[in-house]
Amino acid sequence: MSAAEPLGDTEQTFSVNELARAINTVLHREFGSGVWVRGEIQNWSARGPHAYFQLAEELDGQRAVIQVNLFADVRRRIRPILEQNRLSLDDGVAVRIFGIPDFWAPGGRLGLKMREIDPHFTLGDLAMAREAVLSRLRASGRFDDNRMLELSPLPLQIGLVTSEGTAAYADFTEQLSESALGFSILLHHTAVQGEGAEHQIAAAIARLATRDLDAIAVIRGGGSRNDLATFDAEVIAEAILASPIPVVTGIGHEIDRSIADEVAHSALKTPTACAAMLIDRVRDTVGRAETAWGRIAELGRLSLAGADGRIADLTHRIARHTHTAVERADLRLDQRRQRLVNSGVRVLESERVSVDRAVERIGVATSRRLSTAEASIAVAEARIGAHDPARLLARGWSITTDAAGAVVRSIGDITPGEAVRTHLVDGVVTSTVAAVSGPDADPTTVGGVEQHDG
């Protein structure tokens, strides 16, 4: 029979409903009691009392997905199990669930009606992933890098990584504000759970690590164990270890420690405890500073009191020593004054004798010098007198002067016609020069002037 030939009436033909029933019959026969299936939750949707999601697995590049229906009655029944183990169902959570396969005819889809969940599988998966990250971090040799940083004794400049507007944010900021200690908070808002939250948190830590801060606080307000598993992400741990600023955590769980807690400088249980630790550190530093200042002030007061006493004692001692020294100085001054008086009298007497002797020597020397001077004067007077013109005139000499009164010493001093005056012992003769001649001239020339040798 060729493919183009119509099938005979002997071949069974199903309607769609019949085929759907037949599929469910086979499924119920093979899996009527149900089956355990493991995978990762994706596309979680819980709008209303029921929840729907896909259970997915990727193996060797091949992805398989089955639709899971979690109806309200089962959801209510497994809620205590999840709460007891601090688990929640959401995207990315690895689960092992029990359900009954079912073909839904209206949608034409094969699905799984969920009946039970194995919480230990999810916890084990989280634990295995956590231990793997811890092993890699310890092997890197950087596990204690942030813990070894020194936290400021006054951590007032705080970088905050959390979701703004949450209870964790309010608890932390209100606690710091009510302390009245002058905290300054630089908030970096970020999601703290859900898809991609770990990368947002790591980026926020890295950005705040470049600022001038005393500490970075990473907080959230509790949650299920798999919600808190966000803080087991290796990327967050790497950001904390790379930070040059101490990181303190308050991730809001009382029992478990996240990997972020393990590598942080300080790990507190809650955001409130985290804020309280910072407040206590500041108050402790302020208290120690105030105590130190009080001790310094007391030591200063005691030192001043002691110094006042020593100064008073020293003042009295100085006064006594000064009084004694002044008395001794007065005595020495009196003695020295008396010695000076006695010495002055002796010096004056000696000087008086010396002066008398000097006066006597001066008198003798003066008399000698006066006698010598008188003799010298007499000799000078005799010499001067010998040259007195009046004496020369008395001996027959005459002196001729020209009209100006200048003595005529040579025939060159006068010219013919010039009036001259001849001084004699008993008067003056005035004449006029008729002629001037030399040694050969006629001495009888009237009115002439003769020049004689000698």
CA distance linking residue 204 with residue 187, whole number of Å: 9
DSSP letter for 310, please: H
Phi, psi of 12 (to 5 degrees): -75, 135
Model confidence pTM above 0.75: no
CA distance linking residue 190 with residue 198, whole number of Å: 9
CA distance linking residue 305 with residue 211, whole number of Å: 49
* Cα separation of the two ends of the chain: 203
Contact predicate 212/157, CB 8 Å = yes
CA distance linking residue 278 with residue 175, whole number of Å: 10
Helix (H) or strand (E) holding 409: none
Question: What is residue 384's predicted lDDT score, i.e. its pLDDT?
Answer: 77
- What is the gyration radius of the CA atoms in the chain, in angstroms? 70
Share of the chain above pLDDT 90, in %: 28
Quickly tell me which residue has 């007061």 as its tokens.
301
Express each pLDDT in 393-421 by its tens digit: 777 788 899 888 888 888 888 888 889 89
Express each pLDDT in 312-330 by its tens digit: 788 888 878 888 878 888 8
Same fold across 16-117 and 128-142+154-282: no
CA distance linking residue 349 with residue 306, whole number of Å: 62
Q: Which stretches in the chain have pLDDT values below 70?
A: 1-10, 224, 226-227, 253-256, 386, 439-454
Instruction: Return the biggest CA–CA distance within the chain.
Output: 218
State whether residue 389 is helix, strand or coil. helix
CA distance linking residue 55 with residue 428, whole number of Å: 175
Looking at CATH, the fold of the domain delimited by 16-117 is given as OB fold (Dihydrolipoamide Acetyltransferase, E2P) (2.40.50)
Question: What is residue 282's predicted lDDT score, i.e. its pLDDT?
Answer: 94
CA distance linking residue 269 with residue 248, whole number of Å: 11
In sequence order, what are the residues at sequence separation of 6 or more whose Cβ sits closer than 8 angstroms to the Cβ of residue 35? 98, 99, 100, 101, 112
Contact predicate 214/245, CB 8 Å = yes
Contact predicate 258/158, CB 8 Å = no
CA distance linking residue 386 with residue 395, whole number of Å: 12
Question: What is residue 443's predicted lDDT score, i.e. its pLDDT?
Answer: 44
CA distance linking residue 185 with residue 175, whole number of Å: 12
**Angle, vertex CA 75, rays to CA 44 and CA 224, nearest 5:** 65
Question: What is residue 391's predicted lDDT score, i.e. its pLDDT?
Answer: 72
Residue 51 CB: number of other CB atoms within 10 A?
A: 19
Express each pLDDT in 26-83 by its tens digit: 878 877 788 888 888 889 998 889 999 989 888 888 889 889 999 999 999 989 888 8
Domain boundaries, the chain: 16-117, 128-142+154-282, 388-454
Express each pLDDT in 376-399 by its tens digit: 888 887 777 767 777 777 777 888
Residue 423 CB: number of other CB atoms within 10 A?
A: 17
Class for the domain spanning 128-142+154-282: alpha beta
Residue 324 CB: number of other CB atoms within 10 A?
A: 10
Contact predicate 217/159, CB 8 Å = yes
Quickly tell me which residue has 């009084």 as its tokens.
323
Question: What is residue 149's predicted lDDT score, i.e. its pLDDT?
Answer: 95
State whether residue 401 is helix, strand or coil. strand
- Entry field: residues in the chain: 454
Give me the torsion for CA of 393, 396, 402, 403, rounded to 10°.
70
What is the number of alpha carbons within 13 Å of residue 376 lying toward its C-beta?
6
